[in-house]
């Protein structure tokens, strides 16, 4: 019986949607599909949340679950209102405060989007970095490294290692041309990477002494069942050392933007208050 009722409700909802029946809902001719005490759930309420292109069987299940969930919430709300009458006034204040905060914060965000200067120059980044270096101490080691993960038993292994160790641009270009032969690789050794991220790329590092690995110009060759690994540690910054500016730049940009945002909001608040006083919208007694 319950499934039959839900199916009937679903047909009603789908028919209303297909026939553009919704406008009649707007004229207080809404069709109730469930009721708990004095509160009703209407067909249009379900139309609004019914996923598009949902299968018929899924629609039936959705309608059944939605009605049941709605009814449960209304029953809980009814019991709460009966048993928490003494808290009603404080709840109403909270609702009012939340509504006001929602409007105000949404309006502030809209103002910030239109008025905030988001352009940050390299000079501004450098100046902020130099003035706040001590705030950018590392919580973990950073590494600049190059690596190759290749198949084992390569006939050109010695030549590959020679190219990998070379600092000659032509040799490095030749190595880059071979990239499709490798399982994975990283040739961008000017980029600082967290040691944890490097370790996750090469699991065998987890079994090695971290202090041994983290040595400048260190070369590591490792071969296991997964393949041949060649690693060169170009540079290392250890925990509590100052992070390099190019690594910390995204963080600095966020800090500068947040500072600008707070300053802009403060100015907007002052201008709004002054304008209200000038036009006598605000009077203090």
Using one digit for the tens of pLDDT, what is the confidence trace for 143-183? 999 999 998 888 888 899 999 988 888 988 998 899 899 99
Residue 85: the pLDDT is 82
pTM equals 0.69
Q: pLDDT grade, residue 59 (50/70/90)? A: confident
Measured CA to CA in angstroms, residue 169 lies from 136, 219, 263 at distances of 33, 19, 48
Name the average pLDDT for the chain.
86
| Interatomic CA distance for residues 62 and 68, integer angstroms | 10
Q: Mean pLDDT lowest for which of 10-14, 89-93, 118-122, 201-205?
A: 10-14
At the topology level, CATH places domain 138-237 in Chitinase A; domain 3 (3.10.50)
Q: pLDDT grade, residue 15 (50/70/90)? A: low
Residue 88: the pLDDT is 81
Residue 24: the pLDDT is 45
What would the pLDDT profile of 88-142 be if each residue is shown by its tens digit? 888 889 999 999 999 999 999 999 999 999 999 999 999 999 999 999 999 999 9
Q: What is the location of CATH 3.10.50 in the chain?
A: 138-237
Average pLDDT value for residue range 277-284: 86
Whether 43 shows a pLDDT value over 90: the answer reads no
Contacts 24+ apart (CB under 8 A), 260-269: 260/116, 260/117, 261/112, 261/116, 264/111, 264/112, 264/115, 264/116, 265/108, 265/111, 265/112, 268/108, 268/111, 268/115
């Amino acid at each position: 019986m319950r499934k039959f009722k839900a199916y009937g409700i679903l047909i009603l909802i789908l028919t209303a949607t297909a026939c553009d029946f919704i406008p009649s809902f707007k004229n207080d001719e809404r069709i109730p599909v469930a009721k708990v005490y004095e509160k009703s759930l209407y067909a249009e309420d379900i139309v609004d949340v019914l996923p598009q292109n949902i299968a018929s069987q899924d629609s039936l299940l959705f309608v059944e679950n939605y009605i049941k969930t709605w009814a449960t919430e209304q029953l809980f709300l009814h019991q709460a209102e009966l048993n928490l009458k003494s808290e009603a006034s404080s709840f109403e204040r909270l609702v009012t405060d939340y509504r006001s905060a929602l409007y105000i914060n949404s309006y502030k965000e809209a103002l910030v989007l239109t008025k905030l200067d988001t352009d940050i120059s390299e000079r501004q980044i450098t100046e902020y970095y130099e003035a706040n270096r001590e705030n950018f101490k590392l919580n973990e080691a950073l590494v600049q490294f190059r690596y190759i993960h290749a198949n084992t038993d390569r006939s050109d292994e010695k030549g590959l290692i020679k190219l990998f160790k070379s600092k000659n641009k032509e040799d490095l270009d030749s190595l880059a041309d071979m990239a499709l032969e490798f399982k994975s690789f990283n040739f961008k050794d000017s980029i600082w990477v967290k040691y944890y991220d490097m370790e996750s790329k090469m699991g065998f590092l987890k079994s090695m002494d971290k202090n041994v690995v983290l040595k400048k110009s260190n070369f590591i060759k490792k071969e296991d069942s997964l393949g041949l690994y060649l690693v060169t540690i170009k540079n290392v910054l250890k925990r509590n050392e100052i992070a390099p500016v190019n690594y910390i730049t995204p963080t600095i940009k966020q800090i500068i933007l947040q500072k600008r945002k707070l300053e802009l909001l403060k100015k907007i608040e002052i201008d709004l208050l002054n304008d209200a006083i000038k036009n006598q919208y605000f009077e203090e007694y």
